[in-house]
């Protein structure tokens, strides 16, 4: 949630029950016209409503009731539980669609085979009727239910087109089969089109299944970002005891213990201990950063080998990680200038298609000759069927969602959809982080020994193996084939290097500031 002034708040809610871009336009329109709503935007690809409203005039529950009035619903749960609920809903919907699609394809196959190759077989029409009926009336029932909901509110969407095209084809075929004499008396053959009705349902269901899968895949970037935050942390209580605490219960001022290899849960300040922390998810720099007392640490970053305690400064929505997640979500839900044009077209798309279908039928009736009614009906159904997938309303928002999501997976945060659209004009890129264009792992490329004497390389390896410094790992990997010796009294000198004893002699490893060093790395 982002507050824009004292009484105006902006919130994001998942919209449930949408089946096409026209649904998004319908839901957006009804919310926009609610009292107290300043602005509203529904993105079909992300399934989210971003609404700005006056909190002293309306609230989330009132907006939800308005959306329910046109056949959709809003998920207004707490944001911490919202993602889990959405995943459950998505998983359930995907399984249902998968089963429906599978059965629709299985039942449609015999209808297609008979309709294409064995039209004159005994009881062919009756067999096709038996197989197509469950596809149209059971597996495709949601299209008719949703079309009826829209019709009650004097609206139309893609479900309306599917319901009209398949419904007309099915009813027309049943009539031709049961009352074939009606056409025979007029010198016409009573054709049936059960295969058209069944195949349309099967194909639309398959398209929706692929669409649902694409939506699930593109949300993986958000899931990965959320996965950077651990579910529980170790809080040091006032009596010094350690307590495993859910992340939701952590408050500002809590002292948290971070062990080697653990993810840091919230933003804070180190109060004791030190360690190297991998902050590449924030800075892009792959080399871990040394954290000492009074230095800041951030949620989602990864502690390396040491352990330390830090005081929680920012928790929940206030952490930098939470802000990044919010930014990616907002960018995925934002609309590019071209999409605003697409939304306008999608809003009038269905009525226009229905008008064209009706006009097609009328033209055939006037100029179609003997078979005018049949040909006109088929032509009108064809117009409705061709428009069903509505690639226009889906392609643009899906492309934006996928683009922003893929960017986030690669560590590139895209501010909004307009930035993504303008990216096509980019002809030069300036990078200020070396980690962006390197492998992200320091490597030793060459080594020079004082007086060409490498007799102490086993001692060097022994000392570096005990160090936590990321450059020490590179040295260890370079000297991997050397058998290390034993050393004692290892000591790390912050910002300089390390030292250790071997056979009653002290050896030093460090940078150029470490003047007594035998080795310079």
Catalytic residues: 432
Say if residues 476 and 461 touch (Cβ distance below 8 Å).
Answer: yes
Question: Positive or negative CA dihedral for 119, 121, 126, 130?
Answer: negative
Q: What six digits make up the tokens of 418?
A: 């307009």
Of 269, 251, 144, 155, which is closest to residue 200 (Cα–Cα)? Answer: 144
Q: What six digits make up the tokens of 163?
A: 């319901």
Say if residues 21 and 44 touch (Cβ distance below 8 Å).
Answer: yes
- CB within 8 Å of 314: residues ≥ 6 apart: 252, 266, 267, 268, 299, 320
Q: How far are the Cα atoms of 1, 17, 204, 381 from residue 208, in angstroms, in the given order?
A: 31, 13, 6, 20
Helix (H) or strand (E) holding 352: helix 337-367
Nearest-angstrom CA–CA distance, 361 and 375: 8
Of 403, 472, 406, 432, which is closest to residue 283 (Cα–Cα)? Answer: 432
Q: What six digits make up the tokens of 157?
A: 């969407």
Q: Strand, helix or coil at 190?
A: coil
- CB within 8 Å of 460: residues ≥ 6 apart: 475, 479, 507, 509, 519
- State the number of CA atoms in the 13 A half-sphere of 412 facing the CB: 16
Q: How far are the Cα atoms of 7, 9, 72, 85, 330 from residue 59, in angstroms, in the given order?
A: 11, 10, 17, 21, 21
Length of the chain in terms of residues written: 521
Of 41, 50, 70, which is closest to residue 339 (Cα–Cα)? Answer: 41
């Amino acid at each position: 949630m982002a507050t824009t002034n004292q009484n105006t708040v902006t919130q994001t809610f998942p919209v449930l029950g949408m089946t096409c871009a026209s649904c998004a336009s319908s839901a957006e329109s009804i919310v926009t016209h609610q009292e107290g709503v300043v602005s509203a935007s529904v993105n079909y690809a992300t399934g989210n409503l971003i609404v700005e409203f006056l909190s002293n005039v309306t609230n989330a529950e009132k907006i939800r009731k308005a959306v329910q009035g046109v056949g959709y619903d809003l998920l207004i749960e707490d944001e911490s539980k919202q993602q889990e609920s959405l995943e459950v809903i998505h998983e359930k919907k995907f399984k249902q669609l998968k089963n429906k699609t599978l059965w629709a394809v299985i039942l449609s196959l015999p209808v297609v085979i008979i309709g294409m190759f064995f039209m004159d077989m005994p009881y062919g029409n009756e067999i096709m009727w038996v197989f197509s009926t469950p596809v149209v009336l059971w597996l495709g029932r949601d299209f008719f239910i949703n079309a009826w909901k829209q019709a009650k509110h004097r609206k139309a969407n893609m479900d309306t087109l599917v319901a009209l095209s398949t419904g007309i084809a099915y009813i027309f075929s049943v009539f031709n089969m049961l009352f074939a004499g009606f056409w025979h008396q007029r010198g016409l053959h009573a054709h049936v089109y059960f295969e058209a009705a069944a195949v349309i349902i099967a194909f639309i269901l398959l398209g929706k299944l692929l669409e649902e899968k694409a939506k699930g895949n593109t949300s993986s970037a958000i899931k990965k970002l959320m996965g950077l935050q651990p579910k529980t942390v170790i809080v040091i209580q006032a009596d010094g005891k350690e307590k495993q605490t859910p992340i939701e219960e952590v408050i500002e001022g809590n002292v948290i213990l971070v062990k080697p290899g653990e993810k840091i849960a919230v933003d804070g300040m180190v109060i004791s201990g030190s360690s190297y922390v991998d902050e590449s998810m924030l800075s892009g720099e792959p080399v871990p950063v040394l954290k000492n007392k009074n230095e800041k640490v951030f949620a989602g970053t990864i502690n390396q080998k040491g352990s330390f305690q830090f005081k929680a400064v920012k928790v929940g929505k206030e952490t930098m990680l939470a802000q990044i997640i919010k930014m990616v979500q907002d960018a995925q839900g934002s609309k590019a200038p071209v999409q605003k044009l697409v939304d306008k077209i999608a809003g009038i798309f269905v009525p226009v298609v229905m008008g064209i279908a009706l006009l097609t039928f009328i033209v055939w009736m006037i100029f179609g000759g003997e078979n005018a009614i049949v040909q006109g009906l088929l032509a009108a159904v064809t117009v409705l069927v061709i428009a069903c997938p509505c690639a226009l309303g889906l392609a643009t928002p899906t492309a934006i969602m996928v683009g922003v999501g893929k960017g986030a997976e690669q560590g590139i945060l895209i501010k909004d959809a307009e930035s993504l659209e303008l990216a096509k004009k980019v002809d030069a890129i300036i990078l200020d982080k070396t980690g962006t264009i390197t492998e992200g792992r320091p490597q030793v490329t060459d080594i020079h020994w004082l007086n060409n004497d490498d007799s102490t390389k086993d001692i060097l390896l022994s000392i570096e193996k005990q160090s936590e410094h990321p450059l020490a790992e590179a040295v260890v990997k370079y000297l991997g084939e050397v058998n290390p010796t034993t050393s004692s009294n290892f000591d790390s000198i912050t910002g300089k290097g390390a030292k250790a004893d071997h056979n009653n002699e002290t050896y030093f490893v460090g940078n150029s500031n470490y003047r007594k060093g035998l080795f310079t790395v």
